[in-house]
């Protein structure tokens, strides 16, 4: 165990490169590990690979570096592999950033209004990789934000799927006729007779229904 002893760290110095921190945090997320267990897991891998003399970041370093770790994801849509066509799934989820718990509100009423944010994500379902994201308030609808996220970045996209919230002209116009649109129209949808090319997939779905 003597070989696993770490050198004394200098506070404030980034001794470990960002790629190593990202690798450790990805392992932690993949196996659902707390920081301490992720620290031990990485060191056990080093022992299996006979790399006990290579220093690894401890859980405190992982926690501190994760706060300001630079992660670039917006370029993924433009930096695809040769002849690669992505299949995207887009959706949003609400995040409560301030407020009281539901139990307290049910029992005693509210004293502070809850504040929400919406996290919009576009990911590749084959790899679970997030290729675009945006954090907004809850005053913007999904179609508006989705159109802003993907506008001008669809050259390498084959298809895009979303729920009924993205059944909007402005979002379908951004996808255009080249991208396969897998967005369900509502039950009472009608197919306009003179529709632009971006609405043809929607009209075909309405006629099929």
For 10, 27, 68, 72, 79, the CA distances from 31, given in Å and listed in that order, are 30, 6, 22, 23, 28
H/E stretch holding 25 reads helix 18-31
What is the residue-level pLDDT of the chain in tens, covering all 209 positions? Answer: 445 555 555 544 578 988 899 999 999 988 999 999 999 999 999 999 998 888 899 999 999 998 888 776 656 676 666 667 889 999 999 887 666 666 666 776 766 666 778 999 999 998 888 888 898 988 889 999 999 999 988 888 999 999 999 999 999 999 998 899 999 998 888 888 788 888 888 988 888 88
- Alpha-helix runs per DSSP H in 49-101: 59-67
Q: At CA 91, angle to CA 180 and CA 32, rounded to 5?
A: 120
């Amino acid at each position: 165990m003597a070989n696993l002893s770490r050198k004394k760290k200098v506070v404030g110095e980034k001794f470990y490169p960002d790629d190593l921190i990202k690798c450790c945090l990805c392992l932690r997320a993949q196996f659902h590990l707390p920081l301490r267990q992720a620290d031990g897991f990485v060191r056990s891998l080093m022992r299996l690979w006979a790399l006990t003399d290579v220093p690894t970041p401890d859980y405190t370093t992982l926690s501190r570096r994760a706060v300001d770790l630079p992660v670039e994801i917006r370029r993924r849509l433009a930096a695809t592999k040769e002849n690669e066509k992505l299949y995207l799934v887009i959706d949003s989820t609400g995040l409560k950033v301030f407020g009281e718990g539901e139990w307290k509100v049910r029992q005693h009423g509210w004293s502070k209004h809850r504040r929400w944010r919406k996290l919009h994500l576009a990911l590749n379902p084959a790899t679970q990789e997030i290729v675009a994201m945006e954090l907004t308030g809850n005053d913007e609808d999904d179609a508006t934000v989705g159109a802003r996220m993907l506008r001008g970045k669809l050259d390498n996209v084959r298809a895009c799927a979303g729920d009924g919230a993205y059944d909007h002209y402005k979002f379908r116009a951004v996808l255009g006729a080249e991208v396969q649109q897998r967005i369900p129209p509502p039950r009472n949808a009608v197919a306009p007779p003179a529709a632009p090319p971006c609405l043809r997939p929607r009209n075909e779905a309405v006629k099929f229904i």
